[in-house]
Amino acid sequence: MVAQKTKVGQLSDIGKYVRPGSFVAIGGGWSCNKPMALIRELIRQKIGGLKVMSIVGGWEMEWLLAAGAVDHLVFSFLSLESFGLPPNFRRVAEQKLIRLTEIEGCSMIKGLQAAGMGLPFAAFRGPKGSDIVQEAPELYKTVTCPFTGQELTAIQAIAPDVALLHAQRADEHGNVQIFGTSASDLDMAKASKAVVVTVEELVSPDVLRETKSATLLFRNEVDLVIPCRFGATPCSCVPYYSAHMLQLMKDARGLADPSKSGEYVRSLIGDTEEHYWKQVGGEETRRKLVALARQTRRLEAPQLPAGTPVERAEAADQMVVSLARTIEDGDSIVLGSFTPLAYAAYMFAKLTHAPNAFIVGYSGVDPYPFQLGFHTSEAACTQFAAGLWSMTQCIEALHLRGRGDVEAVSSAQLDVNGDINISWLAMPIKDAQGQPTGQMNPRGLRLPGGAGAPVVYGLHRKGIAYFANHSKMTFVPKVNYVTGTRLYFTPEERIAQGLRPGPMIVVTNLCVMEMVQRGKWIVRSLHSGVSAEDVVKNTGFPVEVPADCPVTIPPTQQEVDLIRQIDPQGIRFLDFMSAKERAAKLPAILEAEWNAV
């Protein structure tokens, strides 16, 4: 009798699938479910010259770039999230050291899906008006629907050589279960010629079949399964463990100087996983990471009596309440990466005036409101959810169908037309002596990228943005780079495209303002203590402040108390701090969470 084939291997086998020059798709999203043990092994084996891609990336790319393993980077978004911009990504982008291909996030998913179905391209309602499309004519084309005549965006198929994924469980035959945060791992797997998966647990085929609804990849699609406990560390793998935030903070410091970052990474990971774990705390660290993923807290809707508004609210609390007021009961809300101010506003709305709001965060669908924490928010959003969606499922169910209402954005720049820039800032050009020449380099400072914002910013019913620092550096006459735009703005334009009309509202630390016509802005309310002059002189384009402009209604003391329940550590205040203040506050928050278990 012929035995069924086992697909179990070990980390050292990665060289059989990833070779110098391979096109590698890396799964996971943000700091969640990244195949970091495989990334470490690629670096150990000195496999270089790679073309790499991720949907929403950060740490995995920063490590590979620091190690000099990448020749071509395909991305939609790269960030170290709470720890800032990735310095090695900035270095290679700003100095043009490697080839870069920026693809909007929804487009990337559609390109993978096309390859997975054996098609040369996919057509969809893409990022029209974005400079990303204009700068990649080899990838994007405009096509006309043969049935309706509608103008659509076509993206070329994206077919990696190998997909590297991390998942929760598998059996020895290669059937893989995913029941935590999932980006577009399945699309990567179906588009790639080979699939390698590290898993937290290897279980028997019988045990796996007891929870068969979690089996999302099957053995005919998987080439190699590697049992690897904590294989996503320092990133998270819920429900097993949280991200190792203190280690990520150390890594951010170690990677900060690109001239020394390669040495830092090689010294940290050593020759084996055992060496790496000795460096990052061993068994005690593992215990804490598991415990932190269980420190979730569901919040119940309080009975808030009618109260008197506080005399002068903290700017953060005023913004939380004002942002929450843009949400109506029944709105569909999407939470992207962990942005504490927006998360606090969404939770506040859900707990007060919008209990029927439909929230999707990380992979959690319709979660109960939960308490925020750097180590716990992802686990809470998953644990308290009614179900789980991958990033692809969320995009297809809400974004591309035009069914989403709110996904608040905060960009580096927003201009008079409501265009946003999360891609490039202009910087002064300096001469050999380091003196400004008077000229500007439009590609001076590389920003994270838009992820799916170039598409969803225009497709969502409402255009909602928020900024903790209302200044002329943010509100500019014309953005340096159009990452995203609400190309179809008027009700008539939106209805003609099958989109729902909705307002364009911006909440800042000074006011609430609305773009009522393209290029025409009116201040709807001024926060307490803010004058019309304060807003006008800090806005880089004309903005109308009516003579009878009302004062923004501050939160009541009961509402302030509720915000403190949502965010007891004051994470929301980080957006308002100077770099020096933030550098002191963030470690204190992370250490307090770490020491609580």
CA 334 to CA 459: how far, in whole Å?
A: 13
Non-local (6+) Cβ contacts of 506 within 8 A are: 414, 464, 465, 466, 467, 512, 513, 514, 515
CB 312 within 8 A of CB 546: no
Q: Residue 112 has which token pair?
A: 């993978």
For the chain, how many helices (H) and strands (E)? 20, 25
What number is the average pLDDT over the span 359-384? Answer: 93
> At a CB cut-off of 8 Å and minimum separation 6, what does 223 contact?
7, 17, 174, 194, 195, 196
User: What span, in angstroms and rounded, lies between the C-alpha atoms of 36 and 229?
Assistant: 11
Determine what percent of the chain is predicted with pLDDT higher than 90.
Answer: 80
Which CATH architecture is the domain 315-573 placed in? 3-Layer(aba) Sandwich (3.40)
Residue 425's pLDDT is: 93
Angstrom distances, CA of residue 343 to CA of 40, 68, 136, 318, 339: 32, 36, 33, 14, 6
400-447 confidence digits (pLDDT tens) = 888 999 999 999 999 999 999 999 999 888 777 778 888 888 888 999
Asked whether the domain spanning 315-573 has the same topology as the one spanning 21-104+159-288, the reply is: yes
Biggest alpha carbon distance in the chain? 88
Find the mean pLDDT for residues 333-342.
85
pLDDT attached to residue 10: 97
The burial class, CB within 10 Å (0-12 / 13-18 / 19+), for 566 is buried
Angle among Cα 31, 387, 157 to the nearest 5 degrees reads 60
Query: Distance (Å, rounded) from C-alpha 182 to C-alpha 32?
Result: 8
pLDDT of residue 296: 95
531-551 burial, b for 16+ CB within 10 Å, e for fewer? ebebbeebbbbebebeeebee
Does residue 411 contact residue 422 with C-beta atoms inside 8 Å? yes
What pTM was estimated for this model as a whole? Answer: 0.94
Alpha-carbon gap, residue 72 to 88, rounded angstroms:
14
- For residue 183, the model assigns a pLDDT of 86
- pLDDT band at 399; cut points 50, 70, 90: confident
The yes or no reply on domain 21-104+159-288 and CATH 3.40.1080.10 is yes
Mean per-residue pLDDT, 530-543: 97
| Euclidean distance between CA atoms 423 and 450, whole angstroms | 7
Q: What's the distance, CA 242 to chain centroid?
A: 17
pLDDT in tens, 234-283: 999 999 999 999 999 999 999 999 889 999 999 999 999 999 999 999 99
pLDDT at position 128? 87
- pLDDT for the residue numbered 507: 98
pLDDT at position 386: 95
Q: Work out the mean pLDDT of the chain and round it to a whole number.
A: 93
| Domain residue ranges in the chain | 21-104+159-288, 315-573
Instruction: Count CB neighbours of 85 within 10 A.
Output: 13
User: Could you tell me how many residues make up the chain?
Assistant: 597
